[in-house]
């Protein structure tokens, strides 16, 4: 715990300076709070997960502003570009530059002319996220986005590996351990967590992981994804876009997630806690 004079100094610093500087490395920031306990208030320093606006700009045109924990931003931008269908592969990404300002963070990407032309055609049909409605679409028909067919088939031993993988999540969730406020997406191979990324947004954590898998040319036939969140439709769509065969979530699925997973042929396991889980769609059994 910091001494009282250090706490006073922290209060005097600007919020953005304090938060943005710390978050670029750790994903969280020290915030002075007053805790009430044993009938009295005490000033202490608390760790809070960072959330900053990140603008994604393609060939000079802003496409989206996401609220993101500003770690692993290059992977986030790559994963977002792939999972949203803006790029079909990282070969279409020519450059990526990250710029920090007092307003937030801007990621400038130069992409292939064919990818940019397709992006301009569908900019107004980008489907929103759970919690913000369906942003940027003009009719219900525009929500009916065709999902790619998942050709990665779930391996029969993957299901048996889920409990062990879930048990290993906490040890690698550094931001969550410090703040209690982040989601995690992990890549599991042979029951071991090969990579894990955290973010205040579950879809952002997944994009960071998908960016990692693509950048490192990981074979999606080798493993599956475990997430610490509920399974909502955008997670299914992103996984299907990168041909992921199995998504395991700690919390509940939504009806749209189940519908989309079945439509894509992706296996969805939810309520993955302790030694149990529930299979909602099964690529092996055709459920």
- Cα separation, 190 vs 123, in Å, equals 39
217: Cα separation from own chain's centroid = 19
Identify the residue whose tokens are 């079945």. Answer: 262
Beta-carbon contacts of residue 20 (< 8 Å; ≥ 6 apart): 50, 52, 70, 100
Identify the residue whose tokens are 């994804």. Answer: 225
Q: What CA–CA distances, in Å, run from 31 to 25, 86, 217, 265? A: 16, 37, 39, 45
Query: What 3-state DSSP class applies to 83?
Result: helix
H helix runs in the chain, sequence order = 4-12, 15-26, 73-83, 113-122, 158-167, 169-172, 174-179, 202-215, 233-241, 255-264
Residue 239 annotated as catalytic: no
Find the catalytic residue in 50, 132, 135, 239.
Answer: 132
Query: What 3-state DSSP class applies to 78?
Result: helix
Identify the residue whose tokens are 């071991």. Answer: 192
Question: Could you give the residue numbers annotated as active site?
Answer: 132
């Amino acid at each position: 715990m910091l001494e009282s004079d250090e706490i006073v100094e922290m209060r005097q610093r600007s919020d953005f300076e304090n938060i943005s500087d710390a978050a670029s490395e750790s994903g969280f920031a020290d915030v002075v709070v007053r805790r009430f306990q044993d009938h009295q208030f005490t000033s202490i320093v608390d760790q809070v997960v960072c959330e900053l606006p990140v603008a994604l700009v393609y060939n000079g045109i802003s496409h989206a502003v996401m609220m993101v924990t500003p770690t692993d931003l290059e992977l986030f931008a790559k994963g977002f570009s792939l999972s949203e269908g803006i790029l079909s592969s990282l070969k279409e990404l020519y450059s990526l530059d990250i710029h920090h300002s007092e307003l937030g963070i801007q990621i400038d990407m130069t992409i292939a002319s064919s990818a940019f032309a397709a992006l301009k055609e569908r900019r107004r049909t980008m489907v929103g996220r759970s919690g913000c409605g369906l942003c940027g679409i003009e009719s219900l028909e525009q929500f009916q986005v065709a999902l790619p067919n998942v050709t990665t088939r779930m391996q029969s031993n993957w299901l048996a590996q889920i409990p062990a993988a879930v048990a290993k999540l906490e040890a690698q969730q550094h931001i969550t351990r410090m703040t209690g406020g982040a989601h995690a997406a992990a890549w599991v191979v042979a029951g071991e967590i090969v990579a894990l990324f955290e973010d205040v947004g579950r879809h952002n954590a997944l994009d960071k992981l998908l960016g990692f898998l693509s950048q490192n040319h990981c074979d999606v036939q080798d493993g599956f994804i475990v997430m610490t969140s509920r399974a909502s439709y955008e997670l299914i769509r992103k996984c299907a876009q990168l041909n992921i065969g199995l998504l395991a979530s700690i919390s509940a699925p939504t009806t749209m997630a189940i519908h989309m997973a079945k439509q894509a042929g992706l296996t969805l396991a939810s309520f993955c806690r302790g030694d149990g889980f529930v299979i909602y769609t099964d690529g092996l059994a055709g459920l």
